[in-house]
Amino acid sequence: MSKQVETIGVLTSGGDAPGMNAAMRAVVREALFKGKKVKGISRGYAGLLNEDIFDMTASDVSETIARGGTKLQTARCTEFVDPDVQKMAAEICKKHGIDALVVIGGDGSFRGALALAQHGINTIGVPGTIDLDIACTDYTIGFDTAINTAMEAIDKIRDTSKSHDRCTIIEVMGRHAGYIALWCGIACGAEDILLPEKYNHNEQDIINHVIENRKKGKQHHIIINAEGIGHSASMAKRIEAATGMETRASILGYMQRGGIPTCKDRVYASVMGAMAVDLLCEGKSNRVVAYKNGEFCDFDIEEALAMKKEIPDYMNYISKSLV
């Protein structure tokens, strides 16, 4: 059991996600409510190393819950994998009186959090990524907003695809994970959904599907392609050449990372941010806040990082059976 914390630092790290501000706000407000001091750290671990650290008050987080992006800003800080750099970062925390830290980010950020915990900084991770690719949790901050943003865009592209009797490949984010593709694909009734975890790289299967559907009378065809598979433009050319169906590609890109967070992202992020502070106040460290099987909970960071996540079989099945 660690000693009582007095000053809680908060940072956002890795790719930004809508709802990170709601989580930051909850950390600040819950910590102040519990009589703790709060220090914000700009630009993730890069800002920590640059000592870009400042006191935070309740009013500093006013009007943030509904804002996309991250007011604390974020960064990828490659040197943070270096054990000497991690030790130095822990010393910087101590120098600034930060005895506890909330890290809002993904798996990579949690590895940094684990290192800081090992150097005596009580650290809690809060899952923030649009990719939903954190194994210990069924929810990550930003996913709900991102899939709704992508879904609306896909619905619009579907209108023009249908009007022109086209095949359209829509590439959504997810360099290593297909959750955005799977959810948007099901939500939009896509004819094919290509997931990095499942794709067999046999384009002929897609071509056959387009041809079969045409024979059945389907006049247009939507393919949701995850960023991790990529090559949407060249894939479109090959599909057009093989099927004779006019084919276009649209890459949705970074719009999926921005925008006003949904109600779910605001509320879940608020719960998770507050829980992180409550865990610290209970003397806990080296934990990740999660949402699993319908409940908010927490896991040891190392155990959380060792967990594996798989595309749910039944969702994968219906993504094919319902179209």
Q: Which sequence positions are flagged as catalytic?
A: 131
The burial class, CB within 10 Å (0-12 / 13-18 / 19+), for 203 is middle
The binder of 109, among ligand ADP, ligand F6P, none, by C-beta within 5 to 8 A per type, is ligand ADP
Nearest distance, CB of residue 296 and ligand F6P, angstroms: 22
Residues 239-298 that bind ligand F6P (CB under 6 A): 257
Nearest distance, CB of residue 67 and ligand F6P, angstroms: 17
Buried-exposed string 167-194: b where 16+ CB fall within 10 A, e elsewhere:
bbbbbbbbeebbbbbbbbbbbbebbbbb
Q: Which span sits near ligand F6P by CB under 6 A: 19-27, 168-176, 217-225, 295-303?
A: 168-176
- Comparing CA positions, the residue from 320, 265, 300, 284 lying closest to residue 26 is 265
Beta carbon nearer to ligand F6P, 74 or 243: 74
Beta carbon nearer to ligand F6P, 249 or 277: 249
The binder of 57, among ligand F6P, ligand ADP, none, by C-beta within 5 to 8 A per type, is none
Crossing angle between the packed helical segments 263-281 and 143-163, to the nearest 10 degrees: 160
Beta carbon nearer to ligand ADP, 12 or 168: 12
Q: For ligand F6P, which residue of 5, 12, 15, 270 counts as binding (CB under 6 A)?
A: 15
Task: Look at strands 247-251 and 167-172 and give their pairing.
Answer: parallel
The verdict on 19 binding ligand ADP (CB under 6 A) reads no
The verdict on 227 binding ligand F6P (CB under 6 A) reads yes
Beta carbon nearer to ligand ADP, 115 or 150: 115
CA distance 53 to 76: 17
**Residues 10 and 72 sit within 8 Å (Cβ to Cβ):** yes
The verdict on 218 binding ligand ADP (CB under 6 A) reads no
CA distance 306 to 258: 29
- Comparing CA positions, the residue from 161, 191, 184 lying closest to residue 321 is 191
The binder of 139, among ligand ADP, ligand F6P, none, by C-beta within 5 to 8 A per type, is none
Question: 39-68 mask for ligand ADP (x: CB under 6 A)?
Answer: ------x-----------------------
The strands making up 247-251's β-sheet, listed across from edge to edge, are 192-194, 221-226, 167-172, 247-251
The verdict on 123 binding ligand ADP (CB under 6 A) reads no
Q: For ligand F6P, which residue of 40, 128, 174, 196 counts as binding (CB under 6 A)?
A: 174
Q: Report which secondary-structure segment, H or E, holds 105.
A: strand 100-105
The strands making up 37-41's β-sheet, listed across from edge to edge, are 53-55, 37-41, 7-12, 100-105, 122-127, 287-292, 295-300
CB atoms within 10 A of CB 223: 25
- Chain positions contacting ligand ADP, by CB under 6 A: 13-15, 45, 76-78, 80-81, 105-109, 111-112, 115, 129
- Chain positions contacting ligand F6P, by CB under 6 A: 15, 129-131, 173-175, 227, 257
